[in-house]
Amino acid sequence: MNEFTFRYPTKVYFGEKAAEKNLPAELSNVGKVVMLAYGGGSIKANGIYSELKQLLEHAGKKVVEFSGIMSNPTYEKVQEGALIAKAEKVDFILAVGGGSVIDCCKIVSVQAKLDADIWDYENVQHKQPTESIPIGAVVTAFGTGAEMNNGAVITNQELMLKAPLWGAFYDFAILDPVYTMSMPIKQVISGAFDSLSHCMETYMGTPRNLNLTDEINEACQRNIIRNIRATIENPEDVAARSELIWAAAMAENGVLKIGKVTDFQAHMLEHQLGAYTDCNHGQGLAVIHPVLYRHMLPEATTQFARLAVEVWNNNPDGKSQEQLAEAFIDALAEFIKEVSLPATFEQMNISANTDFKAVADSTFLMGGCCKKFSSEELLEVLKECQ
């Protein structure tokens, strides 16, 4: 395990009625003007909006709304939110939704305090913002674990880049599994697979010798797989939702990354695919992972073989490391089909005329990956995914 320093700044309130029990106390610590940020309006249909609005009003807050945050949030939307926050002199931002809303607000929080353009500030000047509007999150759709860190994935449509920006950490996050019960089952499975992908991408980094962090990771992967199956069997199973929402948080709160250099090459490739097609993130990862992993197999044999046994319950007796490694990829691919996630881009309605070369050429090449990919090989992966 590598050297590390670990500090976690976000307070987590987990459980049923977590907002009702804990949000009033948190609101007592923030200023009068609160931005209520959300997506397309599903929180109005399921009652979460009215519940939170009432809690804000009872706390004596002036509510400023920032709505319409889309999946794969755009840089233009970030700037819209920052302008509202500046104009209304917002004291606190309450982000309500899934990863897209939560990511967007991280960057709104810092852009509103910065005169410079945040994209240029971070990517050209290579500086990090130091001021932010305080933020809190209410999670209604799990998978990304976005409330657990200060990284955000934002689509810059002008540059045709879907890339990370760094914003503020959430002061607190409310994780009520009941809030996720209105998620469409396809979104539940897609989000949970994203959590599994986070675990796998972290696991594939360096060092590659087995350590405590990796063993915790294996447990998280087993938990996600088991509870995806339980949720499909009974979509009303709150206990399974509870496990999945916490697994998503665990995958991104830094615990699984302690002492590790992570991989995340599959994520980088899917992000750029999303910049060109606006595809569903979890589904894109489901298509990419098995194909990418077959390209990684010679370099990742030991880790793949370990996952075959410890996560996917393959019997190692009489099998070589290479056979076990292949068994892991096969098990992952079969699971993707089992839970009705797509196995090809065609099943996602991604056109064969997509400029896959541009996607590959603009994909960031990760240094911590088991295998150091080239843009040319990533293009091969994309073609095999069709």
Type of residue numbered 27: L
Q: Looking at 129, 160, 180, which one is the last position of a domain?
A: 180
CATH of the domain at 208: 1.20.1090.10
Report yes or no on 5 lying in a domain: no
Report yes or no on 6 lying in a domain: no
> Which tokens go with 325?
């490694």
Report yes or no on 130 lying in a domain: yes
For residues 220 and 251, the answer to whether their CB atoms sit within 8 Å is yes
Q: Which residues contact 165 (CB under 8 A, 6 or more apart)?
A: 106, 107, 118, 119, 122, 151, 152, 153, 154
Q: Looking at 180, 199, 231, which one is the last position of a domain?
A: 180
Residue 185 neighbours by CB distance under 10 Å? 12
- What's the mean pLDDT in 159-177? 97
Check whether 354 has a pLDDT greater than 80: yes
> Which tokens go with 265?
């090459």
Report yes or no on 1 lying in a domain: no
For residues 130 and 168, the answer to whether their CB atoms sit within 8 Å is no
What is d(CA 52, CA 54) in angstroms, rounded to the nearest whole number? 5
Report yes or no on 4 lying in a domain: no
Q: pLDDT tens for residues 199-213?
A: 999 999 888 788 999
> In 3-state terms, what secondary structure has residue 100?
helix
- The torsion angles phi and psi of 366, rounded to 5 degrees, stand at -75, 135
Do 44 and 93 fall into the same domain?
yes
pTM more than 0.85: yes
> Which tokens go with 151?
């990284």
Check whether 23 has a pLDDT greater than 90: yes
> Which tokens go with 192?
């949970």
> Which tokens go with 315?
């019997």
> In 3-state terms, what secondary structure has residue 311?
coil
What is d(CA 197, CA 193) in angstroms, rounded to the nearest whole number? 6
Confidence of residue 4 (pLDDT cuts 50, 70, 90): confident
Report yes or no on 322 lying in a domain: yes
Q: Where is 64: in which H helix or E strand?
A: strand 62-66
Type of residue numbered 10: T
Q: Where is 147: in which H helix or E strand?
A: none
User: Which residues are paired to 111 by β-bridges?
Assistant: none
Report yes or no on 295 lying in a domain: yes
Task: Determine the structural domain holding residue 135 and report its residue range.
Answer: 11-180
Do 268 and 125 fall into the same domain?
no
Report yes or no on 369 lying in a domain: yes
Pick the closest to residue 168 from 129, 125, 121, 115 (CA basis): 129
What is d(CA 15, CA 318) in angstroms, rounded to the nearest whole number? 45
Q: pLDDT tens for residues 272-317?
A: 999 999 999 999 999 999 999 999 999 999 999 999 999 999 999 9
What is d(CA 89, CA 37) in angstroms, rounded to the nearest whole number? 15
For residues 148 and 256, the answer to whether their CB atoms sit within 8 Å is no
DSSP state of 50: H
CATH of the domain at 104: 3.40.50.1970
For residues 231 and 192, the answer to whether their CB atoms sit within 8 Å is yes
Q: How many domains does the chain have?
A: 2
Check whether 369 has a pLDDT greater than 90: no
Q: pLDDT tens for residues 92-103?
A: 999 999 999 999
Residue with tokens 């090459």: 265
